[in-house]
Amino acid sequence: MNSSEHSADSGDARSGSGGRIPLSGGVHGPAALRELVELTLTALEVGAERRGGPIPAGEPEQLARQFEGVFRYGRDLGDKPDEDALLRLTELLAYGSADPADPSCAAHLHGPPLAVAVAADLAVSALNPSLDSWDQAPAATVMETALVAELAELVGFHPGQAAGVLTSGGTESNLMGLMLARDRILGREVELDGLPAGVRPRILASEAAHFSVQRAAALLGLGERAVHAVPVDRELRMDPERLAAALALSAREGARPIAVVATAGTTDTGAIDPLHRIADLAAEYGAWLHVDAAYGGGALFSDRLAPLLDGIARADSVSLDWHKLGWQPTAAGVFLVRRAHTYASLARRAAYLNPADDEQAGYPSLLGLSLRTTRRADAFKIAVTLRTLGRAGLGRLVDICHDLARSAAEAVRVRPALELHCEPVLTTVVFRYLPSSATDPAAAATPSATPAADPAAVDRLNAELRRVLLREGRAVVGRTELPGAGAGRVRLKLTLLNPNTSAADIAALLDTVVRAGKALEDAEAVS
């Protein structure tokens, strides 16, 4: 108990038992929370029921209008306290959410969290440990350290030699990997003096790599143009011959290849770059190997799919995201390095957080492992989930979603109005709607004669089709563009992360896509 809880002063803002302001911690916290959590759960039910689908129907402004009267722009915030704010706003939040627990919500690497993980996260919110110093998070510090060792083992690193930290996600993990690469290859003076004159750093990543690689290069003072985009094959796997050529070119141009980024599960197709071949090339040129497994890391849980990530243990650093293929509420990112000593340049000492004498006395603080200072105990929900389901239990969920993707691909193939881009690798199916002029054999003989078969028109049709489904609140389907240039690259995608979705749900969703496409075509033909 802190001294303010003993204070005799009880202002009129105080409520709850004994006139005290209800807080979430301590012995009395759970009682204060219980009633509010019950209320919140009721509001979640009511809101979801009112939505009645994967996303609220209507235009974005219609949703914005429902919040009018709740927010009081320009008015005194204290003019009218709203006792029901939690209930009303939770209901609105639930109503207005894109809910990945609905089988028709399958656009992004945005999964439905497991109930047990969310319950664990509630405990974290209530206790509010902060991982920047031991004295703000004794148990959470121990648990994160142990979880990182377990995950290092899962990746194939030697747990005694590896190190890592929980992050906000792949974006932060990729930034950290490239930061350590920069400091390792160019020297730690970069931290003090910036880039030495005349050095031309280069990062090699495939053209299907995540955009956060470019952003990290910009933040690290390397410049986005330091990132060389290596071409990919149809599945969006990096072409290792093109990587070899790009590295040879770097050497000829006097550029310094500081890192090769391999993607283990591209955001769009789930493609996995050839890790061993890339590791050989990175080693040959003395570059750091960062493996971005933000999506594909989940395959490590599955006996069937884990071999796809063979070679990941050769990485210098790895990004994993359990808020993607791991059924955790956001955020649940993990950054790992194979050799703890390469972590050195992140270490920071702050007199008020991790004084050296405390550490020597056996009080470890995790401050020096993260770019952040205050940091939630995101490790806890992951640790609880892993213990509840086990690796095999999570692997089964991965396999279910992988099977679902394969059956979805088959369902795309048997619908003449749809075109499959490639076989699913993990849990994503990439396809597009083809207008009847492109699928009708008579019209196909003279494709250029019909405007609908024009690649730009097919792109527009697919993009509009997706918005129609959003507006109608019927489905949340992904939309992307394949790498390259020119028209004809727009694709739709289903990112299947819901283990309760059935093959019949997906078949119905694809029928909805086809119907929406035909309706748009008919409307165009009339206008």
Ligand X SMILES: *Cc1c(COP(=O)(O)O)cnc(C)c1O
Question: Which residues contribute to the site for ligand X (CB under 6 A)?
Answer: 109, 169-171, 174, 210, 212, 263, 265, 267, 292, 294-295, 321, 333
Q: Which of 321, 262, 377, 343 is nearest to 111 (CA)?
A: 321
In the complex with ligand X, the residue whose CB is nearer, 100 or 517, is 100
Residues pairing with 203 in the sheet: 227, 259
We find the least distance from the C-beta atom of residue 333 to ligand X, in angstroms, to be 5
In the complex with ligand X, the residue whose CB is nearer, 492 or 513, is 492
Residues 407-412: contacts with CB under 8 Å, at least 24 apart: 407/503, 407/506, 408/494, 408/496, 408/503, 408/506, 408/510, 411/503, 411/506, 411/507, 411/510, 412/510
Spatial contact of 404 and 396, defined as CB atoms under 8 Å apart: no
SS3 505: helix
In the complex with ligand X, the residue whose CB is nearer, 232 or 418, is 232
We find the least distance from the C-beta atom of residue 483 to ligand X, in angstroms, to be 14
We find the least distance from the C-beta atom of residue 426 to ligand X, in angstroms, to be 10
In the complex with ligand X, the residue whose CB is nearer, 100 or 170, is 170
318-327 as b/e: b if 16+ CB within 10 A: bbbbbbbbbb
In the complex with ligand X, the residue whose CB is nearer, 213 or 420, is 213
β strands within 338-379, DSSP E: none
Residue sitting closest to ligand X (CB): 169
Phi/psi at 142 (nearest 5 deg)? -60, -45
Q: Which of 380, 344, 378 is nearest to 176 (CA)?
A: 344
Could you give the CA distance from residue 45 to residue 346 in angstroms, rounded to a whole number?
44
We find the least distance from the C-beta atom of residue 12 to ligand X, in angstroms, to be 43
> Residue type for 127, please?
L
We find the least distance from the C-beta atom of residue 208 to ligand X, in angstroms, to be 9
Spatial contact of 295 and 323, defined as CB atoms under 8 Å apart: no
The pairing of strands 256-263 and 478-481 is: unpaired
Q: How many CB atoms lie within 10 A of CB 125?
A: 11
Could you give the CA distance from residue 337 to residue 313 in angstroms, rounded to a whole number?
10
Peptide bond into 119 cis (omega under 30): no
We find the least distance from the C-beta atom of residue 172 to ligand X, in angstroms, to be 6
We find the least distance from the C-beta atom of residue 185 to ligand X, in angstroms, to be 22
Could you give the CA distance from residue 138 to residue 70 in angstroms, rounded to a whole number?
39
SS3 245: helix
- Report angle CA 334, 116, 94 to the nearest 5 degrees: 95
In the complex with ligand X, the residue whose CB is nearer, 427 or 498, is 427
